[in-house]
Amino acid sequence: MPLTPEHGRVRRSRPLLWVYFSLLVILCFVVARQFGWFPTGRAAPEPPQVATNEPRAVFGTPPPAKAPVNVPSPAPLPARAQPETSTRNRTLSSKEVPPGIHDLLRRWEDTVRSGDPEGQASLYGPTAEVYFTKRNVPHREIVSDKRHFLESYPKMNRYTVSNVKLESLNGDRAVISLIKDWDAEGAKRFAGSEKELLTLAWMNGAWKIVGEKELRVFWRKKD
């Protein structure tokens, strides 16, 4: 059957229809992808991370949180030894003699009885403001005087301190009165009884004698 001119136009138009149809399909696919009508296969974005100061693990489980460290407070510095008074720089109305002064007087008696001039002199300060009839007597002269007395009278029959009274206590200074009785023997005998006044100062954590003088001689005898 012979082909008519109409048949030729139809055959020539069919390839153009396929081209149009293909372009339309591609356009629809592009539009669908653009508006998210097809799954893209990409993972959902992670939520934003909040910055923290905690350490992040490199491998495995994250490290445990560090416990708070309690920094101990520094120990207080040791307080400087204070004189035996409840309030410094105040004259006490009480006449009670502090225990430290009683201890000083006990050692004063013991060193004389045992014939220890250095031990006796160690109870005095570097300088005696008053030492019987002298003033500003250095420690070396006190040692010499104690040594001379104990070497001259090596036998001590009696040496006692009694009637101790606190005359004043003001800060690191104290004044006490006492009765001293002695009976010593050497080449001669020397005995007596007198009232003395001792001035004490608080030095390096202890009481020291910085003044000694006679107030009244009751009796004195040398043979």
Whether the full predicted model's pTM is greater than 0.85, yes or no, is no
Instruction: Report pLDDT digits (tens) over 62-78.
Output: 445 555 556 555 555 44
Closest CA to 131 of 141, 122, 119: 141
Find the length of the chain: 223
Instruction: Report pLDDT digits (tens) over 129-161.
Output: 999 999 999 999 999 999 999 999 999 999 999
24: confidence class by pLDDT, cuts 50, 70, 90: confident
How much is the average pLDDT of 161-169?
96
Between CA 161 and CA 154 the distance in angstroms is 19
Q: What pLDDT is recorded for position 152?
A: 95
CATH number for the domain whose boundaries are 99-222? 3.10.450.50
In the chain, where the domains are located: 1-30, 99-222
